[in-house]
């Protein structure tokens, strides 16, 4: 790649697109250079590039430098020895051995699907895991296999308790996905905070102002400056945040109490803690087999009927009523054809990673 090609993205505010396949190869090569084995790297590529493809940029390939740091620092094992134990007909526990979170997440959902194949339902809790990126990756994996999927994970404190002064819950994401015959799945993928913490970091890196009423500063005052953000507001904001706080609490029960892992306020900070210290995250995955509840194609037919009725709803001028996942699949189609955009900051970081890890640098489309 020429010097002009390397400078072009960094000198422009406009993002530069990279072909999906090339980005997958780059991310995988960097992870393996940092110490990940092939299965761990493949799972993480699938999660990160998949999130970027769907437009979930806050949890996409921009997380690659962080994963390199935790691999090199020893917080995460690049070659884990994960152990799965079936505890009942439809229940299992996966000890992730401090693996990359994506490796643990995909393995856990695959085990949940296996349980559901015979029992109709499969529930798997995960111990000793780490940051797993976008929760939607794992619910989506279940839906793509023909199952309903649920994935949740708590995280270090970043969100105010409703009516509280200090951060208490993590962003505690929830994802649910359902298969749709002949189409991409129905997909919910959301934090229980008003905005994900990684989105705040993204706005800070781009020097952009935040939306109103999503964060507060150290004094507890609302701010739109990502550099002053001290805590996030729960989903629902200052008035209705009790709803988001309750959902965050549910995630705590499933991810921490059910696994014996750390509560949000006990988890070391993702960025500021020692890179060699495992964070001992717990996670929870659920798979449901539709045919165990309804005969034949009944579920698929009802799902199609629901989506048709929803999308036919009258919309406001200039708007369109969409089902959960519709926006993501539109972005996926566009980026699959045109490439995944990288902003100037990430381009600079990835160029530096290529040099440090001895892998070929990315080239713009």
Q: List the CATH number of the domain containing 363.
A: 1.10.1530.10
| Whether residues 147 and 264 fall in one domain | yes
pLDDT tens readout for residues 156-168? 999 999 988 899 9
| Whether residues 180 and 295 fall in one domain | yes
DSSP one-letter string for 62-106: GGHHHHHHHHHHTSSBSS---EEEEEETTEEEEE-TTB-HHHHHH
User: For residues 44 and 36, what is the distance between their CA atoms, to the nearest angstrom?
Assistant: 10
pLDDT score for 74: 98
Are 300 and 191 contacting, i.e. CB atoms less than 8 angstroms apart?
A: no
Examine the pLDDT at 11 and tell me if it is beyond 50.
no
Cα torsion angle, 45, 47, 50, 51, sign: negative
Specify the pairing of strand 121-129 against strand 281-288: antiparallel
> Which residue carries 């051995």 as its tokens?
97
Question: Range of 239's domain?
Answer: 80-194+233-337
Examine the pLDDT at 197 and tell me if it is beyond 60.
yes
Q: Residue 205 — very low, low, confident or very high, per pLDDT cuts 50/70/90? A: confident
What average pLDDT does range 139-158 have in this prediction? 98
Q: What is the CATH number of the domain that holds 317?
A: 3.30.1370.60
Structurally, how many domains does the chain consist of?
Answer: 2
Examine the pLDDT at 64 and tell me if it is beyond 80.
yes
Residue 134 domain-assigned? Answer: yes
pLDDT tens readout for residues 260-282? 999 999 999 999 999 999 999 99
pLDDT score for 5: 42
Q: Residue 10 — very low, low, confident or very high, per pLDDT cuts 50/70/90? A: very low
Q: Residue 199 — very low, low, confident or very high, per pLDDT cuts 50/70/90? A: confident
| Whether residues 263 and 174 fall in one domain | yes
pLDDT score for 278: 97
Cα torsion angle, 142, 251, 193, 246, sign: positive
Q: Residue 3 — very low, low, confident or very high, per pLDDT cuts 50/70/90? A: very low
Residue 263 domain-assigned? Answer: yes
Query: Considering the chain, what percentage of its residues have pLDDT values greater than 70?
Result: 96
Residue 66 domain-assigned? Answer: yes
| Whether residues 344 and 306 fall in one domain | no
pLDDT score for 238: 85
Q: Residue 8 — very low, low, confident or very high, per pLDDT cuts 50/70/90? A: very low
Residue 293 domain-assigned? Answer: yes
Indicate the range of 131-145, 194-208, 249-263, 341-355 predicted with least confidence. Answer: 194-208
Examine the pLDDT at 6 and tell me if it is beyond 60.
no
């Amino acid at each position: 790649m020429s010097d002009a090609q390397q400078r072009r993205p960094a000198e422009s505010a406009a993002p530069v697109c990279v072909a999906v396949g090339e980005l997958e190869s780059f991310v995988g090569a960097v992870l393996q250079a940092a110490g990940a084995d092939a299965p761990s790297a493949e799972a993480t590529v699938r999660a990160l590039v998949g999130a970027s493809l769907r437009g979930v940029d806050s949890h996409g390939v921009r997380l690659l430098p962080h994963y390199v740091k935790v691999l090199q620092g020893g917080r995460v094992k690049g070659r884990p020895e994960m152990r799965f134990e079936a505890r009942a007909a439809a229940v299992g526990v996966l000890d992730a051995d401090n693996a990359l979170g994506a490796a643990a997440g995909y393995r856990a959902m695959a085990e949940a699907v296996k349980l559901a194949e015979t029992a109709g339902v499969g529930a798997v809790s995960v111990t000793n895991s780490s940051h797993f990126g976008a929760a939607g990756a794992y619910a989506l994996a279940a839906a793509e296999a023909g199952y309903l999927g649920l994935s949740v994970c708590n995280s270090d404190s970043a969100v105010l308790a409703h009516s509280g002064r200090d951060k208490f819950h993590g962003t505690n994401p929830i994802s649910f996905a359902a298969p749709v015959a002949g189409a991409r799945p129905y997909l919910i993928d959301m934090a229980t905070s008003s905005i994900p913490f990684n989105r705040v970091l993204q706005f800070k890196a781009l020097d952009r102002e935040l939306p109103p009423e999503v964060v507060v500063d150290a004094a507890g005052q609302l701010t739109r400056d990502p550099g002053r953000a001290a805590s996030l507001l729960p989903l629902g904001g200052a008035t209705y945040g009790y709803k988001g706080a309750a959902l965050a609490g549910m995630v705590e029960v499933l991810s921490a109490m059910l696994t014996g892992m750390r509560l949000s306020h006990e988890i070391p900070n993702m960025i500021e803690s020692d890179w060699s210290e495992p964070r001992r995250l717990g996670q929870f995955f659920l798979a449901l087999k539709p045919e165990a509840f309804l005969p034949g194609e009944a579920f698929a037919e009802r799902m199609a009927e629901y989506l048709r009725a929803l999308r036919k709803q009258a919309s406001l001028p200039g708007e369109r009523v969409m089902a959960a996942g519709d926006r993501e699949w539109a972005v996926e189609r566009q980026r699959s054809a045109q490439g995944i955009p990288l902003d100037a900051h990430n381009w600079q970081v990835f160029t530096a990673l290529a040099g440090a890890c001895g892998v070929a640098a990315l080239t713009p489309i």
